[in-house]
Amino acid sequence: MSTHLKPETYEQQSRLAAYCRNGEQPALDGITPNRIGHYRRLVFNVVKDALTRSYPLAVNLLEEEEWAILCNDFFEFHPCQDPQVWKMPEELISFVQQERAHLCEKYPHLLELLRFEWKEVEYYMMPDRDWPIASKTNEWQDAWSLNPESEVLSLEYPVHLKNARQISEEDHGSYYCLVFRHEQTGKVHFMNLSPFFAWLIATMLETPVSPKSLLPVIEAQFGISDEPMLREQISKFHQKLVSDRMIR
Amino acid sequence: MNKHVGIGFRKDFGTEFIEGSALKPAFVEVAPENWIDVGGFWKKQFRKVAEQYPVYTHGLSLSIGSPDPLDWEFLKKVKSFLSEWDVKVYSEHLSYSKCDNAHLYDLLPIPFREDAVKHIAERIRQVQDFLGRKLVIEIVSYYTPVAAEMSEVEFINAILQEADCELLFDINNIYVNGFNHGYSPTEFIDQLDLSKVKYIHMAGHDQVSEDLIIDTHGQPIIDPVFDLFEYAISKLPHPVPVLLERDFNIPELAELQEEMNRLESICRNTWQHEHALKA
Ligand SMILES: [Fe+2]
């Protein structure tokens, strides 16, 4: 703290801020008591609105009261760190993970749903990334010019395929999903992937290599040795990615 | 054409603003926090706006009145944003929005006290040194004083004096504060150091009870605030840019243009002998 600010002034500021977070009547000097509540209301509304806008699927999954209590407790007990309010909702994920064991138990896919929803915000908003230089494109022999604004998600629940309210323990398993921002519209797309294509894309996003050069690894890891069949499958997949602007 | 009057650019304006001609401000104002680290669709839109209009900024999270240390990482991002978009003005609120290491994302009233003046003036000077430009601080509306030991106008004048910063003269806020705290807005203006005024804000508000107005920016400007504006600018030593703020309850863009036209004509009548404002 600066040397100028007196502890008693700091104390008044701190009490008003604490009141905005916990709603407990503060001991403040010289206030108009029936008006102080507007600060708590206005501040909390900003936070709850930002959270609600970022996580519509989680809002729908939780009971109304559970969501209200979660927003309230998050704001009261978690000191929000990001100066940009639209980035702040990401902080809810670790709060739920660390502080809301009972919610995670009741809704085993809640954390994954929150992460999934945040990916959409993150990809929609994130700074532009440069595309790799596109060279000639023989989808078998050349490395693919993949959209750098993309990522393969590995999931335990099909939050990308099913309404979160319909997901149960029976759905627990291994799922893969490609998330990418469409180059032209800027919209975020999700594409369900088989384990093989998830691996292929993840590998090629890490290092630009041609499918052909991966042949020995594909055979060792996936037991696929039928090269013509593989080439055909990969070619189809390549076409789909081109039409979705995942490949230039 | 508007020479003096700009508009707060909202994403809600949509492509109609960028591609249409219903709204033609002299400049646009944005909150850097809403645009820093943004790519994709909105970056493209922002670029189109910035190509058409000079960009002014009005920050949200600097929290100049906070007891917490300044956030230099954040200020670095602000600095590069200001230079990337050739921003004309960086304004911020004379309030605090962070305390005890927690952001609150709204504007809390600072105790009007001598120690707070010194504390804030020092921080403003540090920010100005770092950014290499003057900070333009805004008189905010508030609903209750907290632990005040001096008057609001004494507090503001003392900061302007000690920090050597500039003033964002928000006429609606002065009206709202006068109404909420029972003082005369014109007397307040008479006592204010107007030589520091760099920029003006105009907005609407919501009266929520007999004795309380909440500064929502969700309504058109009311006539008494237009009158106060006319009074205020007649006292200024020179013309300054004027911004229409509308954050909620956004009407047809043509309606906003009408409000801007009314402001513009008041500016022209008052400043007719002055040179047109250079952006
Ligand atoms: Fe303002």
The pLDDT assigned to A29 comes to 96
Mark whether A94 and A135 lie in a shared domain.
no
Angle between helices B171-181 and B223-234 (to 10 degrees): 110
- Alpha-carbon gap, residue B253 to B218, rounded angstroms: 14
For residue B213, the cross-strand partners are B207
Mark whether A90 and A205 lie in a shared domain.
no
Boundary-marking domain end, from A64, A99, A126? A126
- Do the chains contact at B146 and A16, CB–CB below 8 Å? yes
The pLDDT assigned to B278 comes to 44
- Alpha-carbon gap, residue A71 to A54, rounded angstroms: 12
CATH number at residue A216: 3.90.930.50
* pLDDT score of B1 more than 80: no
The boundaries of the domain holding residue A215 are: 130-248
Residue A146 is given by DSSP the state B
- Alpha-carbon gap, residue A225 to B36, rounded angstroms: 49
Total of domains in chain A: 2
Q: Given B37, B41, B100, which is nearest A186 (Cβ)? A: B41
- Alpha-carbon gap, residue B153 to B158, rounded angstroms: 8
Mark whether A134 and A28 lie in a shared domain.
no
Boundary-marking domain end, from A126, A150, A180? A126
* Residue B108 contacts A where some CB pair is shorter than 8 Å: yes
Mark whether A119 and A176 lie in a shared domain.
no
Output the CA B241–ligand 1 centroid distance in Å: 13
Instruction: Find, among B114, B214, B111, the residue nearest to A17 by Cα.
Output: B111
The pLDDT assigned to A51 comes to 98
The boundaries of the domain holding residue B38 are: 5-278
Q: What is the pTM of this model?
A: 0.94
Mark whether A118 and A199 lie in a shared domain.
no
Nearest C-alpha in A relative to B119: A4
Nearest C-alpha in A relative to B111: A9
Cβ–Cβ < 8 Å for B215, B173: yes
Total of domains in chain B: 1
The three-state secondary structure class of A188 is strand
Q: Residue A125: exposed, middle, or buried by beta-carbon count in 10 A (0-12, 13-18, 19+)?
A: buried
Per-residue pLDDT of chain A (248 residues; tens, 9 = 90+): 567 999 999 999 999 999 999 999 999 999 999 999 999 999 999 999 999 999 999 999 999 999 999 999 999 999 999 999 999 999 999 999 999 999 999 999 999 999 999 999 999 999 999 988 776 678 999 999 999 999 999 999 999 999 999 999 999 999 999 999 999 999 999 999 999 999 999 999 999 999 999 999 999 999 998 999 999 999 999 999 999 999 98
Complex ipTM, two decimals? 0.95
The pLDDT assigned to B279 comes to 44
- Residue of A101 and B14 predicted with greater confidence: A101
- Alpha-carbon gap, residue A97 to A231, rounded angstroms: 43
CATH number at residue B168: 3.20.20.150
Mark whether A205 and A242 lie in a shared domain.
yes
Confidence grade of residue B2 (pLDDT, cut at 50, 70, 90): confident
Cβ–Cβ < 8 Å for B173, B139: yes
Mark whether A220 and A168 lie in a shared domain.
yes
pLDDT, tens digit, for every residue of B55-75?
999 999 999 999 999 999 999
- Do the chains contact at B42 and A125, CB–CB below 8 Å? yes
Mark whether A122 and A168 lie in a shared domain.
no
Q: Say how many C-beta atoms besides its own lie within 10 A of residue A159's C-beta.
A: 26
The pLDDT assigned to B274 comes to 57
**What value does the mean pLDDT of chain B take?**
96
Mark whether A57 and A160 lie in a shared domain.
no
The three-state secondary structure class of B148 is coil
B72 neighbourhood in chain A, CB within 8 Å: none
- Residue B178 tokens, joined: 């006068």
pLDDT, tens digit, for every residue of B79-126?
999 999 999 999 999 999 999 999 999 999 999 999 999 999 999 999
* Residue B179 contacts A where some CB pair is shorter than 8 Å: no
* Residue B92 contacts A where some CB pair is shorter than 8 Å: no
Mark whether A120 and A145 lie in a shared domain.
no
Mark whether A19 and A119 lie in a shared domain.
yes
